[in-house]
Amino acid sequence: MTDTSVMEDTVRWLTAPGKGLLAADESQPTIEKRLNARGIECTEDNRRFYRSLLVTTPGVADYIAGIIFHDETMHQSTDDGEPIPEACSARGIVPGIKVDRGTTELPGSPFDEKITQGLDGLADRLVGYRQQGARFTKWRNVYEIGRGTPSAQAIEANAEVLARYAAIVQSVGMVPIVEPEVLKDGDHGVERACEVNEVVLLAVFNALYRHKVIPELMVLKPSMAVAGKQIAAATPETVAAYTLRSLRRTVPAAVPAIHFLSGGQTPSEATANLNAMNNAPGPRPWTIGFSYSRAIQDPVQEAWGGHTQNREIAQQAFVHRARLNSAARDGRYSPDMEETA
């Protein structure tokens, strides 16, 4: 029998009132793309400086319960020489770790679909991360919406690896974040995004059940039902209604928290949609919060610009965005709050 008390503690922490998560776990190619887009060189020391800037931001622990890191960051130190995961815990923020190893071709798919890899040796890797202070983990699957996609094959195969990941993580006493990301690429409307979310989540929860994952000791990180990139965005109320429909039909009430990804929404869009979700009519048995990367970090990277002297204004931008999302998590956000830094 696994001792669940540590996981129960971690879940309590990750669902603390008024708080959400920051995903700062971009892979090397992804962080390179983000930094280069702002004219910032993606050197190892720039990544270290930037991610330690995030962790050491004064006051951000009031709004951020946990930060998800990439493996590289687990071995880096702040400017004061403190290991980043320790600096994180010391400030009252729980460190987490992305453990998947990205996506690869799904053989047999006629649509060039992807499957996420990283199960081999996972239990051993987790032991090391736990010793470094990580208490929760993340694994991301991707599903593209298109003609014939996501296929039944991709939905089933991805659900299976996601559930196996979650079962392995719970077996070592860590809390899995389960992230089935339905991509925003395309020209689909919110109705189609909602349908795809529904079928994907059904397969995921079926597989989680098959692998005996304890729903009370996990966090779900889904996409919102938003319109495809190529068409105009729907209103926050519409996004909230369709997103909640897909969640109510598929996610057990036993799951403590749903912390959304932002998936290419602008920072204010992601905050407004989260806020609408928390004000929508009808039952919401889970905490509905955030685990954003771009929708929190875009303004921070913009303010930093790769210059050491901008550290403080970058940190202010981080606290500001975290505070707005904290308000949205409680349904207290309004667009005029955007102006007050």
- Chain residues binding ligand 13P by CB under 6 A are 23, 140, 179, 261-263, 292-295
**What's the closest the beta carbon of residue 81 comes to ligand 13P, in angstroms?**
28
Q: Which residues are 179's β-sheet partners? A: 140
For ligand 13P, the closer of residues 26 and 113 by Cβ is 26
For ligand 13P, the closer of residues 140 and 311 by Cβ is 140
For ligand 13P, the closer of residues 141 and 238 by Cβ is 141
Contact 24, 297 (CB under 8 A): yes
Q: Which of 26, 113, 144, 179 is catalytic?
A: 179
CA–CA separation, 319 vs 315, rounded Å? 6
42 residue type, one letter: C
**What's the closest the beta carbon of residue 2 comes to ligand 13P, in angstroms?**
26
Contact 101, 118 (CB under 8 A): yes
Contact 25, 68 (CB under 8 A): yes
CA–CA separation, 119 vs 41, rounded Å? 32
CA–CA separation, 84 vs 69, rounded Å? 10
For ligand 13P, the closer of residues 25 and 113 by Cβ is 25
CA–CA separation, 267 vs 228, rounded Å? 17
**What's the closest the beta carbon of residue 295 comes to ligand 13P, in angstroms?**
5
For ligand 13P, the closer of residues 23 and 213 by Cβ is 23
CA–CA separation, 108 vs 157, rounded Å? 11
For ligand 13P, the closer of residues 171 and 230 by Cβ is 230
Instruction: Please enumerate in sequence order all residues whose Cβ is within 8 A of that of 129, keeping only pairs 6 or more positions apart, or say none.
Output: 74, 97, 99, 137, 174
Q: Which residues of 207-238 are buried (b: 16+ CB within 10 A; e: fewer)?
A: bbeebebbbebbbbbbbbbbbbeeeebbebeb
41 is catalytic: no
160 is catalytic: no
3-state secondary structure of 289: strand
Q: Which of 221, 229, 269, 302 is catalytic?
A: 221
Classify residue 170 by its DSSP letter.
H
**What's the closest the beta carbon of residue 35 comes to ligand 13P, in angstroms?**
14
**What's the closest the beta carbon of residue 117 comes to ligand 13P, in angstroms?**
15
**What's the closest the beta carbon of residue 265 comes to ligand 13P, in angstroms?**
8
The catalytic residue positions are 179, 221
